[in-house]
Amino acid sequence: MADVEIERHGEAVAALRLNRPRVLNALSWGLVRALHEALDELQADNRCRVVVLTGSGRGFCAGLDLRDQDNTGELTEGARGPRAGMLAQEYIAGLIPHLRRIQQPLIAAINGPAYGGGPALALGCDIRIAAESAQLCVQFIRVGVSGCDIGVSYLLPKLIGASLAHDLILTGRPFDAREALELGVVTRLVPDEELLPSALRLAEELCELNPFGLVMTKEAMWANLDAPSLEAAIQLENRNQILVGSQGSTREAAAAFFEKRKPRWAEEG
C-alpha cells in the first residue's frame, strides 16, 4: 500500500491522500518522501489545475511518527549527530515550501485529528476546509522540542495574528474545528460525510476560472505575504495582470458574460 495516493477526479482535479490510516497518517520518512514525489508529479501535470490534500481513514495527519524517527535511510547516510538531524529536519520542513511552489492551488480537507505536522501541512495549503470532527494541535512544544517547526511560526501568525498564534504555539493546546473556524485557521466547516465532496466541488469551481490566472493568483498571494511595500505588491499584481490579460482572457470573459455562456479559456484548447 502506497504511503501517498493520487486519486484523479476528472482531468483537472486530483485528491492527494496521506495513506497510513492505522497510525492516523503519521509522518514516517517514507510518507514524507512519497509526498515530495507526489507533489513533483502534480507540478509536472499541466492538465491538473487544483489539488485536494486529505488523509485516509479517520485522521488527517497525527504528526511525526515517533516510532520511525530514526529510519531516515539514504537521507542521512554518512552523516552523524547534528548534521544528520539537520538534513532530516530540512527535508521534512521542505514540504511546506514545496506545497507553495507547485502551480496548482491546494485545498486542505482536514478530517479528524491534525497534530504537529498535520496543521503545518494544512497551513501550507491555500484554502482549508474542516470536518466537524477535526481537532488540531500545534503540539511541538509538548514533545520536547521548540514549538516552532515546519513553518508554523511563519504561517500561523500571518493567518490569525501574532497574539493568537502565540497562544496556540506556546501552549500546544488542542482546539476543535469550531474554534479553528472562529480563529480563521479554516474558512469552512462541514459535516464529516460532506468533507471530501465539498472540497471537490470547490476544486471544480476553481477549475472554471482562467487556468493561467489561477496559477498567477496563487503566485502573487504567497509572494505578497513578504512584499516589502504596497508598491512592490502592486508591481507584481500589474505584471501578472498583463501576462494573463495578453491571452485575451478579459475579452473572452466579457463575451461569455454577454452571451450567457461559460468562458472558453485559451489554455483549454
Instruction: State pLDDT tens for residues 34-77.
Output: 999 999 999 999 999 999 999 999 999 999 998 887 788 888 88
139 and 245: one domain? no
Q: What is the mean pLDDT of residues 22-26?
A: 96
- Nearest alpha carbon to residue 27 among 180, 140, 166: 140
Convert the pLDDT of each residue in 161-189 to its tens digit.
999 999 999 999 999 999 999 999 999 99
Assessment of whether the complete model's pTM goes beyond 0.85 = yes
| % the chain with pLDDT above 70 | 99
41 and 172: one domain? yes
User: What is the pLDDT at residue 185?
Assistant: 98
Which of these three, 157, 179, 206, is where a domain ends?
206
Q: What is the dihedral of CA 114, 119, 122, 126, to 10 degrees?
A: 150
Residue 269: is its pLDDT beyond 80? Answer: no
23 and 81: one domain? yes
Cα 105 vs. chain centroid, distance in angstroms? 8
Convert the pLDDT of each residue in 256-267 to its tens digit.
889 899 888 887
Residue 236: is its pLDDT beyond 50? Answer: yes
Q: What is the mean pLDDT of residues 12-30?
A: 97
To 10 degrees, what angle do helices 29-43 and 81-93 make?
Answer: 40
* 27 strand-pairing partners: 64
214 and 199: one domain? no
Q: What is the dihedral of CA 197, 52, 73, 151, to 10 degrees?
A: -120
124 and 244: one domain? no
Convert the pLDDT of each residue in 201-227 to its tens digit.
999 999 999 999 999 999 999 999 999
Which of these three, 206, 239, 255, is where a domain ends?
206
92 and 195: one domain? yes
Rounded to an integer, what distance in angstroms lies between the CA atom of residue 108 and that of residue 127? Answer: 6
Number of domains observed in the structure of the chain: 2
Residue 31: is its pLDDT beyond 60? Answer: yes
User: What is the pLDDT at residue 266?
Assistant: 82
59 and 187: one domain? yes
Residue 23: is its pLDDT beyond 50? Answer: yes
- The enclosing domain of 238 has a CATH number of 1.10.12.10
- Classify burial at 91, counting beta carbons within 10 Å of its beta carbon; exposed 0-12, middle 13-18, buried 19 or more: middle
Burial profile 12-42: b = 16 or more Cβ within 10 angstroms, e = fewer: bbbbbbbbbeebbbbbbbbbbbbbbebbeeb
What is the Rg, in whole angstroms, of the alpha carbon atoms belonging to the chain?
A: 19
138 and 74: one domain? yes
SS3 per-residue string spanning the chain = CCCEEEEEECCCEEEEEECCHHHCCCECHHHHHHHHHHHHHHHCCCCCCEEEEEECCCCCECCECHHHCCCCHHHHCCCCHHHHHHHHHHHHHCHHHHHHHCCCCEEEEECCEEECHHHHHHHCCCEEEEECCCEEECCHHHHCCCCCCCCHHHHHHHHHCHHHHHHHHHHCCCEEHHHHHHHCCCCEEECHHHHHHHHHHHHHHHHCCCHHHHHHHHHHHHHHHHCCCHHHHHHHHHHHHHHHHCCCHHHHHHHHHHHCCCCCCHHHC
Residues 6+ apart with CB under 8 A from 41: 6
Tell me the one-letter amino acid at 188: R
29 and 113: one domain? yes
Domain of residue 168 covers 4-206
- Grid coordinates belonging to 184: 480563521
User: What is the pLDDT at residue 10?
Assistant: 93
Which of these three, 158, 175, 206, is where a domain ends?
206
Convert the pLDDT of each residue in 108-141 to its tens digit.
999 999 999 999 999 999 999 999 999 999 999 9
78 and 201: one domain? yes
- Grid coordinates belonging to 177: 474545528
User: What is the pLDDT at residue 80?
Assistant: 87
- Grid coordinates belonging to 211: 487556468
46 and 119: one domain? yes
50 and 10: one domain? yes
